[in-house]
A and B are shown apart, each in its own frame.
Chain A
């Protein structure tokens, strides 16, 4: 909540037009996320959790207000500048993993590195490291269909961290997993946060998942309500 905030939303307004109706999702929303934070975002379905991640990730646009990430204003950037911003700063983790089914685990993890000037050998080292971090060093040559949901999500996490982005945006990363597997994945995220200092924003429905985060934000009717772990 200081000037050192990695992410800062100021007066963000966002709505959608659906046919004749226009729905306001956020009205003058403010938020600050410091470097190294692990924020769980909870809230009813349709409250705008995914929209929040999309705005932070630079794949959706605010109607008004400012979003600053790592000192850079990203609202109002061109599509190309946003693509560069995403490549350099953002790692996405999705509920359904979104791996390329025709590529191996290693090839999937390598994708973000294709946007960097790294040479093939360097890319391979980075891929091996990322897979090792999520505990899948031995699965590099496997295809997504040969892996369990939990393993696929680990590959997706490896892909999200391989280019060392400043922030991980996870949209219900355990929404499709059973309890035990979910706990493993959440453990991986917690380790990334605690040991590698990754800043994580994680949307979840699951209070048990939120407990892995440092703090939880409740989003409802376009506003945040912060609750600490004890609440």
Chain B
């Protein structure tokens, strides 16, 4: 066994030491693999970052009621009567004044302009009830103050304010047909609400002519377990054709659709590119085997087995591709990790989120690189092992 390992080590050393003779070819393989891994990891980091933002939104003890079957807030409608019935439901926490902590909300799409590109984008305007901020935990006014009830004032999420133009504190913006003043900037523990504009629900209703209609009702539950009783209450009342779930579940479902889409784009693109890199790797490794034909044949004539020649070639290929994979991962991390952008969420409004690379994602990228190296090295390695010695010696 020891001589076998020594043979493998010697052949591998000879291979690796001969890489400088094929420097540019080897480098092109490394670069090709790095690009593949970058594309894959960029998509995965986008998907993961988006997922993190949405799954960081909503609590298990906040219930949301939507029209039955509505997948997104924008498709939902809840009447004022239904709101009143929900408020009377069981399991809802109460505020200091003894009234149930609920918020009947409107969710509208308004126009905005992206700072980075100057392009138009759909932004969500949320009309919230008096307890809109209290129903949810983690809503904090970072600058300015909360809007005054009944006024044309808005507070904007921190991400929205930084990504879209015109939402600086004190500025007046035109939303729909009316003018609104930005009086505050809020944070929401990094969640989706930071990509929203919030205003007083009655003011939104009157200025957007949506009297008597809401999209959703939020309710703070006494505990996550209280959801069951509220759900049962809603289901047993024929006037309430509403779906009730926790806000947490609601946003998790929303993230599922978009992250699926991103991943379904990213993997095929990366795999298509991986085939290109694979062609490059095969070319490089066949060249390597051809360039070392005399050396391999000489070693075989000395008594070296075919297997060390096989392994040595495979190791060279794997090494090149793993180097490419690591470069790709590091480059993606340097360029994109924490890179903030926005994309359309489930309600066709912009959700601002940051790209995020995790060790598990990096592993997927390096794994893909390994596959390229393995397949790209396999056939040349077989050739290295099987090449007739006499032909190799003849040059």
* A115→B300 contact, CB < 8 A: no
Give chain B residues whose Cβ lies under 8 Å from the Cβ of A115: 3, 6-7, 302-304
B18 and A86 contact, CB distance less than 8 A: no
Q: Does A208 contact B (CB under 8 A)?
A: no
Chain A 157-173: CB-based contact to B (< 8 A → 1; otherwise 0): 00100000000000000
> Are the C-beta atoms of B302 and A86 separated by less than 8 Å?
yes
Q: Which of B6, B14, B295 has the most CB of A within 10 A?
A: B6
Which chain A residues border B303 with CB–CB below 8 Å? 83-84, 86-88, 90, 112, 115
Once the chains bind, are A111 and B10 in contact (CB under 8 Å)?
yes
Q: Does A103 contact B (CB under 8 A)?
A: yes
Interface size on B, residues (CB 8 A): 23
Given A59-B301, A100-B295, A111-B302, A117:B3 Cβ within 8 A: yes
* B6 contacts across to A, CB distance below 8 A: 114-115
- Asked if A102 and B17 make an inter-chain contact with CB atoms under 8 angstroms apart, the answer reads yes
B:1-59 near A, CB below 8 Å: 2-3, 6-7, 10, 13-14, 17-18
Q: How many A-B residue pairs have CB under 8 A?
A: 64
**Which residues 86-100 of A have a CB within 8 angstroms of B?**
86-88, 90, 92, 94, 98, 100
Residue of B nearest to A169 (CB): B301
In Å, the complex CA distance between A159 and B303 comes to: 12
A10 close to chain B: CB less than 8 A: no
Contact A116 B390 (CB under 8 A): no
B305 within 8 A of A: yes
Max chain B C-beta neighbours (<10 A), residue from A94, A103, A115, A116: A115
Between B17, B298, B303, the greatest number of chain A beta carbons within 10 A of the residue's beta carbon is seen for: B303
Q: Is A22 close to B, CB under 8 A?
A: no
Q: Please state if A94 and B298 are interface contacts (CB–CB under 8 Å).
A: yes
Residue contact A116 to B306, C-beta cutoff 8 Å: no
Asked if B3 contacts A103 (CB within 8 A), the reply is: no
A54 B390 Cβ-Cβ under 8 A: yes
Chain B nearest Cβ from A158, distance in angstroms: 13
Expressed in whole angstroms, the Cα–Cα distance for A86 and B294 within the complex equals 17
Q: How far, in whole Å, are A28 and B295 apart by their CA atoms in the complex?
A: 33
Q: How far is the CB of B247 from chain A (nearest CB, A)?
A: 64
- The answer, yes or no, to whether B330 is at the interface (CB within 8 Å) is no
CB A72 to nearest CB in B, in angstroms, measures 15
Question: Is the CB of B299 closer than 8 A to any CB of chain A?
Answer: yes
Q: Are B301 and A57 in contact (CB under 8 A)?
A: yes
Q: Which of A66-125 contact B (CB under 8 A)?
A: 79-80, 83-84, 86-88, 90, 92, 94, 98, 100-103, 111-112, 114-117
Q: Provide the residues of chain A in CB contact with B3, threshold 8 Å.
A: 114-117
Question: A60 in the interface, Cβ–Cβ < 8 Å?
Answer: yes
In the complex, B225 has a CB within 8 A of chain A:
no
Contact with B along A39-67 (1 / 0, CB 8 A): 00000000000000010010110000000
B169 contacts the other chain (CB 8 A): no
Q: Is the CB of A83 within 8 A of B393?
A: no
- Provide the residues of chain A in CB contact with B18, threshold 8 Å: 101-102
- With A114-B7, A117-B2 known to touch, is A87 a contact of B390 (CB < 8 Å)? no
Asked if A114 and B390 make an inter-chain contact with CB atoms under 8 angstroms apart, the answer reads: no
Query: How far is it, in angstroms, between the C-alpha of A125 and the C-alpha of B224 when the chains are bound?
Result: 78
> 3 closest A-B pairs (Cβ-Cβ)?
A87-B303, A102-B17, A114-B6
Please list 19 pairs of residues, one from A and one from B, whose beta carbons are closer than 8 Å in the complex, sorted by A's number. Answer: A54-B390, A59-B301, A59-B389, A83-B300, A83-B305, A92-B298, A94-B393, A98-B393, A102-B18, A111-B10, A111-B304, A112-B303, A114-B304, A115-B3, A115-B6, A115-B302, A115-B303, A115-B304, A117-B2
